[in-house]
Amino acid sequence: MKSKLSVLGFVLTLSVLIVSGCGPITAQPTAVPPPAVTKLPVVVPLTPVPAITPTVAVEASDVQAARDAALTYIIEHYGEQAPALSLSWTEEFTPGNLVGRLASYRYTAEDWVVLIPYRTRPVVYQVVVTNRPTGFRWEGTVDASGQVTEQLAPDDVRAVRDTALAYLSERYGEQAPALDLTWAEERSAPDVWRGAGTYRYIAEDWVVKVYYPMMPPETVVYLVTVANRATGFHWEGQVDTAGGMTELLDDVLAARDAALAYASEHYGEQAPAPGLTWTEDHIGLPQIVSELDYGGPGTFQWTYTAEDWEVIISYRFLTPKPVVYGVSVQNLATHFYWEGEVDAAGQVTQQSPPP
């Protein structure tokens, strides 16, 4: 009886629990840890270099005014060689940036190109005017007030001068100009008819002349003469655009002597006597001859005289080393005249025998 009451009590207790909401414990799922997150590097896109913002406003009209001021200066100083003011110019603009490139305007008309890069602190316009077919080149600056300052010699001309002076210092030592001299610079107007222009440098008793043919820059070969009238030092040579050096005067004298030896061998007493003392008439200034003379434009000429004799040696300086010299030998008293060519090896070719 007692066991029945116990069972009945258990059943009643269980019923009360069910009625009160208590039930059997439900199993909970095992928690899964979240996946590990790998942090990727942050990529910052490159920002384009911004154009320079000028501290002084520069308008296209200001640049055009600088262009016209430079052209007016060139016309005043170089006449018909300069661009006509009536030309119609096409304009291109290239902005500057913070890595050093200057803003620039480029103007073209026919064969002319005017390039104007400029700085803005303060405004200074660098003006370069070129004509490729004629070889004309001019460089200068124009400030904000319109003042034009011509840069007489471009950097390549000064580099040619310094190359020649360094060569002379190494080869001739104290006879050559000191490397620390301060040179005053002069320029003669390029002569289109004669085919060349000249830059002249003076320091103490020294005179350096750099002659350049009016031709495209990549084919230019410069003739350099260095003279000191006080000491009698005189040197001539060629420098090409790559800095190649050719000492010239010895070649010219050798060509003269080869021609005289040929004339003496073939014409005997009619020719100049071997023992004559020759004077060079154009020391330090070889004559630039025109198209009407031997060799055409861009031709240099040396003249040697002795008594009634005159020897003229000409060559065109279009290659790093002259290959052929034109030589004429004449006597105004006897009317002897001979003309021929001498190549770099000393080979003489007669072109015009004496009458």
3-state per-residue secondary structure call for 161-188: HHHHHHHHHHHHHHHCCCCCCCCEEEEE
Q: What is the pLDDT of residues 288-339, one digit of tens each?
A: 444 334 444 456 778 899 999 999 988 765 544 556 888 999 998 999 999 9
**Is the per-residue pLDDT at 197 higher than 80?**
no
* More reliable by pLDDT, 2 or 147: 147
Each domain of the chain, given as residue ranges in start order, spans 60-151, 155-245, 249-352
Question: What is the residue type of 65?
Answer: A
**Is the per-residue pLDDT at 348 higher than 60?**
yes
Lowest mean pLDDT segment, chosen from 68-77, 125-134, 190-199, 250-259: 190-199
Q: What is the arithmetic mean of pLDDT over 47-56?
A: 37
| Sequence-separated (6 or more) residues with CB below 8 Å from residue 55 | 120, 121
d(CA 321, CA 244): 10
Identify the residue whose tokens are 């770099």: 344
Q: What is the arithmetic mean of pLDDT over 141-158?
A: 80
Q: What is the arithmetic mean of pLDDT over 22-28?
A: 47
**Is the per-residue pLDDT at 62 higher than 80?**
yes
pTM exceeds 0.95, yes or no: no
| Res 338: pLDDT | 95
Whether the Cβ atoms of residue 224 and residue 160 lie closer than 8 Å to each other? yes
Residue 34, class by beta-carbon neighbours within 10 Å (0-12 exposed, 13-18 middle, 19+ buried)? exposed
Residue 255 CB-half CA count within 13 A: 29
Residue 246 CB-half CA count within 13 A: 19
* Rounded (5°) CA angle 314-315-321: 145
**Where is 45: in which H helix or E strand?**
none
Q: What is the pLDDT of residues 206-222, one digit of tens each?
A: 999 888 766 666 667 78
